[in-house]
């Protein structure tokens, strides 16, 4: 597997992880408004 493919897969996984964290953060902010 070429290095470029590894980097592409790493980028895709990082993007998915960041998006998941953002979604969870937004949901938490919505549910914990009283704070």
Confidence (pLDDT) at 32? 86
- Using CA atoms, how far apart are residues 23 and 14, in angstroms rounded to an integer? 14
Is the predicted pLDDT of residue 1 greater than 90, yes or no? no
Residue 7, CA distances (Å) to 2, 10, 15, 18, 22 in order:
9, 5, 12, 16, 22
Confidence (pLDDT) at 11? 97
Flag whether the pTM goes above 0.75: no
Indicate the pLDDT class of residue 34, thresholds 50, 70 and 90: low
pLDDT digits (tens, 9 = 90+) for 11-32: 999 999 999 999 999 999 998 8
């Amino acid at each position: 597997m070429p290095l470029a493919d590894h980097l592409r897969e790493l980028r895709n996984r990082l993007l998915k992880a960041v998006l998941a964290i953002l979604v969870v953060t937004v949901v938490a902010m919505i549910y914990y408004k009283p704070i």
